Amino acid sequence: MTETVTTHPGLPPGSATIDDFNKLDIRVGRIVDVVPFPAARRPAYQLTIDFGPLGLRRSSAQLPPTYPDPTVLDGRLVIGVVNFPPRRIAGFESQVLVLGALPADGRIPLLSVDEGALPGDSIG
């Protein structure tokens, strides 16, 4: 008797397609300013990020538990989704979603690229 093995199981409910992914405008940015955000409900920083030809964008990011010294973020290359609608967070307009890993310990290590990538470069 021959057994059939499925090597490509069906996608789970809620799966995204490549067309969904292609709708996202994901870019390299360089953090140029970091300030504490005391009005936020959870510890956060207000980031100003240079996205090259797209200009400067601001973001609220819950990074103090991972990066207690904000100066380590200055000049860092990060990855952000730049085409989500802005969100108001405690009166602050967050214009970009900065991407980070979400390990079980609650830290948020930022995703980044190697030097050589430039602010505004597309990710895909």
44-55 pLDDT, tens digit per residue, is 999 999 999 999
CA 81, 85, 89, 92 torsion-angle sign: positive
Looking at the DSSP bridge assignments, the partners of residue 116 are none
Rounded to 5 degrees, φ, ψ at 121 are -60, 140
Q: What integer pLDDT is reported at residue 59 of this predicted model? A: 98
Is residue 36 a part of any domain in this protein? yes
Is residue 116 a part of any domain in this protein? no
Rounded CA-CA distance 98/82 in Å is: 9
Is residue 59 a part of any domain in this protein? yes
Domain that holds residue 93: 23-98
57-104 pLDDT, tens digit per residue, is 999 999 999 999 999 999 999 999 999 999 999 999 999 999 999 999
Is residue 47 a part of any domain in this protein? yes
Domain of 33, CATH number, reads: 2.40.50.140
Residue 41 has pLDDT above 80, yes or no: yes
- In the chain, pLDDT over 70 holds for what percent of residues? 93
Total domains in the fold of the chain: 1
Residue 11 has pLDDT above 90, yes or no: no
Beta carbons within 8 Å of 53's beta carbon, 6+ residues apart = 120
**Six token digits for residue 29:** 């940015």
Is residue 124 a part of any domain in this protein? no
Is residue 41 a part of any domain in this protein? yes
Is residue 30 a part of any domain in this protein? yes
